[in-house]
Amino acid sequence: MSTFETIAVVLLGVVILALVWLITEFSGMKTSIKERTGINNETIKLRLQAYERLTLLVERIALQNLISRIPNAGVSAKQMQAALVEAIKTEYEYNISQQVYVSPEAWRAVNNLKEQNIYIVNQLTTTLPFQASAMDLNKQIIDYLMSNPKASLHTIVLEALNFEAKKIM
C-alpha cells in the first residue's frame, strides 16, 4: 500500500470515528435534556391521562348532562339547584389533582367552566317563583343554553383540552 492510500485509510477511519462520537454525544445530550426537563414516556402518559380525566370532568359538569343524571321527581327548584351545585363541586374536587399535569391555561379553563355553570344555575334559580319545581329549573337551564349557544364554555374548554393533548402526542 502506498503512503497516499495509507493516509486516506487513516483519514477515513478518523472521520468514521468522529461521526460515531458525534452521534453518541448527540444521543446523550438528547437524553440529558429529556431528563432535565422531565420529559419521558411516563410523564407523557400521566399528562395525557390528566387531559382525559379533565375531558370527562368537563362532560360530566356540562349543565345539560348534569340535568339528565340528577333525579328531579318531586323536587323543588331550590333542591335541584343545591343538587346541581353540589354535583359540580364534587366532580371538580374529585379531579383537582389533575392540575399538576396540565398547563395553567387548561386548568383555568376548567375552573372557569365550573364557576360559570354554578353561576348560571344560581342566577336562573333566582328568576323562578318560590314554589317552582326542579322541572321548571331544568327547563329554564335548557332554554337558556339553547337560546345562548355561546353562553356555555363547555365546547370551548373541550376544544382547548383536545388541542393541548394533541400537542403532547
* SS3 assignment for 59-95: HHHCHHHHHHHCCCCCCEHHHHHHHHHHHHHHHHHHC
pTM above 0.85, yes or no: no
On whether both 11 and 48 belong to a single domain, the answer is: no
pLDDT at 36: 62
On whether both 11 and 72 belong to a single domain, the answer is: no
Which residues are paired to 133 by β-bridges? Answer: 76
pLDDT at 32: 66
Q: Per the structure block, which three cell numbers stand in for 160? A: 382547548
CA distance 159 to 122: 26
Number of domains in the chain: 2
pLDDT at 104: 94
pLDDT along the chain (169 residues), means of 10: 75 76 74 62 88 96 94 93 96 95 94 96 95 95 89 88 88
Q: Per the structure block, which three cell numbers stand in for 93? A: 374536587
pLDDT at 31: 66
On whether both 35 and 45 belong to a single domain, the answer is: no
CA distance 102 to 92: 15
pLDDT at 30: 64
Domain of 3? 1-39
